[in-house]
Amino acid sequence: MRKYSIFEILFKKMKLAIVGVTGVVGREMLEVLSERKFPYEELYLVASEKSCGKLIFFEGNSYEIISLKNLMEKKIDLAFFSAGAEASKIWAPRLAEKGAKVIDNSSYWRMSTKHKLIVPQINGRSLSDNDMIIANPNCSTIQLVMALAPIHKKFIVKRVVVSTYQAVSGSGKEAIEQLENEKNNINTKMAYPHKIFQNIIPQCDDFTENNYTKEEMKLTNETKKILDQNIDVVATAVRIPVTRGHSESVNITFENEFDLDQIRCALDQMDGVAVFDMPENSKYPMPINVSKNDEVFVGRIRRDFTQKKTLNMWIVSDNLRKGAATNTVEIGEYLIKYNLI
C-alpha cells in the first residue's frame, strides 16, 4: 500500500462511499461528515435497488443514489457500511479486494478473530495497513467501553453489571415510526412485539439459548474483545420510548481500591468523555440533553456501599452519533491521520 508524505496526508482527498445512506445511521453519517469537514473529493451514496436513481442534496451538491453493483465499477479509497449484516458479508470483502478500506457498522465482522473491533480512543493503535475491513462496535458497547477504559487502566475492572435503556432509533426507521404513530394513535407496522409508547420492553433483539438477548451478549463479548478478556460482563437490555440516546446503569467491581476523585479525574482526562455529575442540583446526563452530541456523558458517580471496591455510575450517549456514525467517521479520520489509507 502506498505511503503518503506529510503534505499529502494533510491535503489528501478521499474517494468515499456511504453504503446504506437512506437509513437512520447513513443519514447521520452525512451530518457528521459535514460537521467534521471530512476530506473527500468524490462521494458515492449507495442504497438498495429501490432507492437507486433518487437524489440526495448534500453540501450544495446533488448526488444520485447508486447500487452496490454500480459501486463495484468505481475506484474508491474508503467505504462506510451501514446496510445490515448480509450486505456487509457479501460486499465488504469484494470492495476490500479492490483496495478499498471498509468500516462496517453491522454485527457481521465484530467477533471475527481476523478483524479488529475499533473505538479509536481506546484501541486505534492496533490498526495497520493490512486491516481492510474494520468493525464498528455495537452502539451500547461503545459508550460503555469509553467510560470503562480510563478507569480500567488505573484500577483494573473485574466485573461489570450493566442495564441499558435504549432508544428506538437503535432499531431503525420502522421503530421510530412505530413510536410516533402510537403517540398519535395511528395504526402502524410493528417493529417490536409490543407497543412501545408509554411502555418499556425488556428485550433488545432476539433471545439466545442462554435466555440473554443478542444485544446483551454483544455487550459481554464486545467489551471483552475491546478492553480485556478477563472482565466479566453481564447485561440486561431494555427498549424505552425515547427516539435517540441510550442510557446505561453500570455497577463496576475493581481489583484495586479507588477514590471517587481519582475516578472523576480519569474520566475527565479521557478524550470523548464528559463528566456531568452534580446530583445536588439535579444535574446528570439524560437522553434529551445529549442528542446530536459526539461525547459520552457520565454522571451519578458513587460508591456501592454494599460491595467493596465497587462503583455505580450512569452513562448516556447519542446512539446515532458516538454509538454509530461518529465512531465510524473517527476511524476514517484515524486511518488518514496515521497514513493507513
The pLDDT tens digits of the residues spanning 249-299 come to 999 999 999 999 999 999 999 999 999 999 999 999 999 999 999 999 999
80 phi and psi angles, rounded to 5 deg: -100, 120
Cβ-contact 323, 139 below 8 angstroms: yes
Cβ-contact 117, 327 below 8 angstroms: no
The pTM assigned to this predicted structure is 0.95
Computed over every residue of the chain, the mean pLDDT equals 95
Please give the average per-residue pLDDT across 52-81, as a whole number: 96
Tell me which residue of 47, 57, 60, 58 sits closest to 17, measured CA to CA.
Answer: 47
Cβ-contact 101, 77 below 8 angstroms: yes
Cβ-contact 51, 65 below 8 angstroms: yes
Helical axes 326-337 vs 24-36, angle rounded to 10° = 40
- pLDDT band of residue 14 (cuts 50, 70, 90) is confident
Grid cell of 93 as nine digits:
470483502
pLDDT score for 73: 96
Rg (CA), the chain: 20
Q: Which domains does the chain have, with CATH numbers?
A: 6-137+324-337 (3.40.50.720), 140-319 (3.30.360.10)
Cβ-contact 279, 321 below 8 angstroms: no
Cβ-contact 217, 208 below 8 angstroms: yes
71 phi and psi angles, rounded to 5 deg: -60, -35
- pLDDT band of residue 8 (cuts 50, 70, 90) is very low
115 in catalytic set? no
- pLDDT band of residue 12 (cuts 50, 70, 90) is low
Q: Measure the CA–CA gap between 175 and 136, rounded to whole angstroms.
A: 22
- Burial of residue 291 (number of CB atoms within 10 Å: 0-12, 13-18, 19+): middle
How many residues comprise the chain?
A: 341
Grid cell of 276 as nine digits:
456531568
Q: What is the DSSP string of 76-91?
A: -SEEEE-S-HHHHHHH
Grid cell of 290 as nine digits:
445529549
Q: pLDDT tens-digit profile of 97-152?
A: 999 999 999 999 999 999 999 999 999 999 999 999 999 999 999 999 999 999 99
The pLDDT of residue 42 is above 90: yes
Identify the bridge partners of residue 311 per DSSP, sorted by sequence position: 252, 303
Q: pLDDT tens-digit profile of 233-245?
A: 999 999 999 999 9
Dihedral, CA of residue 181, residue 86, residue 328 and residue 163, to nearest 10: 60
Alpha carbon 238 to chain centroid distance?
Answer: 17
pLDDT score for 13: 75
139 in catalytic set? yes
Q: Measure the CA–CA gap between 99 and 93, rounded to whole angstroms.
A: 10
Catalytic residue from among 115, 152, 204, 246: 246
The pLDDT of residue 7 is above 50: no
Q: pLDDT tens-digit profile of 165-223?
A: 999 999 999 999 999 999 999 999 999 999 999 999 999 999 999 999 999 999 999 99
The pLDDT of residue 56 is above 60: yes
Furthest-apart CA atoms within the chain: distance in Å:
61
109 phi and psi angles, rounded to 5 deg: -100, -5
Catalytic residue from among 115, 139, 152, 204: 139
Q: Measure the CA–CA gap between 280 and 96, rounded to whole angstroms.
A: 52
Q: pLDDT tens-digit profile of 315-326?
A: 999 999 999 999
Tell me which residue of 85, 78, 80, 143 sits closest to 109, measured CA to CA.
Answer: 85
pLDDT score for 4: 41
pLDDT score for 93: 98
